[in-house]
Amino acid sequence: MSESGQLEEKIAHVKTIRTYKLGVIGLGEGRSILSAALQSDRWELVNVCDINEEMCKLRSSEFGLTRYTLRYEDMLSDPDIDVIAIYTPDQLHGRHIKMALEAGKHVIVTKPLLHSLDEANELLAVWKSSGKHVFVGQSSRFFEPMIHQRNDYLAGRHGEVDTVEAYYISDSRWFLQKDWSRQKGFSWMYNFMIHAVDLAKWYLPDIEEVFGYGHSSSNNKAFGLSVPDTMRFVMKDTEGRIAQVSGSYTKPTIKHVDPGISCTLRGTKGTSRAVYSKLLYHTHFPPEQPITHSYEEKFPYYFRFEGASHHAGEYQNYIEYFAECLDQGTTPKPDLNEGIHTIALMTAMERSMATGQPVKVKQILNDFSLDL
């Protein structure tokens, strides 16, 4: 094909790209997806919703929005909206997903998908009858170093991966300044450690047994919380491969040393470590020498607001991935099935902490009559 022919083909492709229309509920945690949608050529932000009108006004001023609503039903009944993005408190996710599916909308929901498995079967039934997609926004999969690590894994550069080490270590006491975080149902595991759990499960999807310990520190208890703020787990999949998953959230960290979020893959041909929030990816694929790949030039793309607590670049990456899945008629991952299985895995982790014994994930699924 001539150069002019190639250019004409590219122009034709650009003209056929569909723009999807988005509604967002939950404008505190939803701040990043507002930025992502507004800066993406794949999405049009149609309307936003929060029960707190002051939050609606704040986001409208920040992003130049001209429309908001205090009623979720207004977005659900809007025929112009293709997809609802849910960033409400965890305890409301199940109800808000169900309402969106019943209204004929696709769903993007932030992690955790659910705060327990009690709603899982009802949600599965609604989802299957709806014909719509539910995509769980596990944002760490869409961070630059993790993207490169996944590409190397899929290319077989690690050989046979038999060990995954995933960590989320941070001093996140700032998070407990949010009123809703101290309400019943808050969990460091479900709000923070889930990132590390998801990365381990991404590479070892058939984890069958978990064992671990958890502890609630005096720093944690000072905020009225008894749920563990420090956790350590060992996991085994059906082939005997091992994952280590760790988290700690209310103690001082060693700046530039503690990993934030990290995922290490150890394989027969090579080892790699992807790190968040540093844009670093460490690899050793012999006969190459160990290399540290830096993507620091992308910091403004990933972290658009103060500090690094909002990571809008990951959100833009995942909503554009979701748009591509809708284009192609493929299932975006993690979907509802995978999201529920992750909650089952974390339920097994909670049970192991409570009993001091290894717990089978299959037993959890059986206890909740889940057939995934």
Residue 103 pLDDT exceeds 80: yes
**Cα(73)–Cα(135) distance, integer angstroms:** 21
**Cα(89)–Cα(185) distance, integer angstroms:** 10
Question: What is the model's pLDDT at position 129?
Answer: 97
Residue 156 pLDDT exceeds 70: yes
| DSSP single-letter state for residue 190 | I
Q: How confident is the model at residue 107 (pLDDT cuts 50, 70, 90)?
A: very high
Q: Output 82 or 257, whichever has higher pLDDT.
A: 82
Closest CA to 337 of 101, 123, 26: 123
β-strand pairing of 280-284 with 271-276? antiparallel
**Cα(116)–Cα(209) distance, integer angstroms:** 19
| DSSP single-letter state for residue 277 | T
Rounded-to-10 torsion of CA 20, 23, 28, 29: -50
Q: How confident is the model at residue 4 (pLDDT cuts 50, 70, 90)?
A: very low
β-strand pairing of 20-25 with 83-86? parallel
Given a contact cutoff of 8 angstroms between Cβ atoms, the answer to whether 19 and 44 are in contact is yes
β-strand pairing of 230-237 with 207-215? antiparallel
Question: What is the model's pLDDT at position 8?
Answer: 46
Angle at 276 between CA 258 and CA 312, to 5 degrees: 140
**Length, in residues, of the chain:** 372
For residue range 133-151, what is the model confidence (pLDDT) as tens digits?
999 999 999 999 999 999 9
Between the alpha carbon of residue 143 and those of residues 65, 127, 167, 312, 313, the distances in Å are: 27, 28, 15, 10, 8
Q: How confident is the model at residue 179 (pLDDT cuts 50, 70, 90)?
A: low
Question: What is the model's pLDDT at position 16?
Answer: 65
Given a contact cutoff of 8 angstroms between Cβ atoms, the answer to whether 342 and 333 are in contact is no
For residue range 184-212, what is the model confidence (pLDDT) as tens digits?
668 999 999 999 999 999 999 999 999 99
For residue range 215-261, what is the model confidence (pLDDT) as tens digits?
999 999 988 888 999 999 999 999 999 999 999 999 999 977 887 99
**Cα(275)–Cα(260) distance, integer angstroms:** 7
The string of DSSP codes covering 221-261 is HTTT--S-SEEEEEEEETTS-EEEEEEE-SS---TTTS-EE
Q: How confident is the model at residue 111 (pLDDT cuts 50, 70, 90)?
A: very high
Please report which helix (H) or strand (E) contains residue 94, including its range: helix 93-102
With b for 16 or more beta-carbon neighbours within 10 A and e for fewer, the 272-307 pattern comes to bbbbbbbbbbbbebeeeeeeeeebeeeeebbbbeee
Angle at 317 between CA 253 and CA 186, to 5 degrees: 45
Residue 12 pLDDT exceeds 80: no
Question: What is the model's pLDDT at position 2?
Answer: 46
Residue 347 pLDDT exceeds 60: yes
Q: Where are the domains of the chain?
A: 3-140, 161-267+335-366
Fold for 161-267+335-366, please state it.
Dihydrodipicolinate Reductase; domain 2 (3.30.360)
Q: What tokens were used for 348? A: 């097994």
- What residues pair up with 271 in beta bridges, in sequence order? 266, 284
**Cα(159)–Cα(133) distance, integer angstroms:** 33
Question: What is the model's pLDDT at position 52?
Answer: 96
**Cα(146)–Cα(262) distance, integer angstroms:** 9
| DSSP single-letter state for residue 69 | B
CATH number, span 3-140:
3.40.50.720
Q: What tokens were used for 3? A: 């150069």
**Cα(306)–Cα(148) distance, integer angstroms:** 26
Phi, psi at residue 328, to the nearest 5°? Answer: -90, -5
- In this prediction, what percent of the chain has a pLDDT beyond 90? 84
217 — alpha (psi -120 to 50), left (phi > 0) or beta? beta
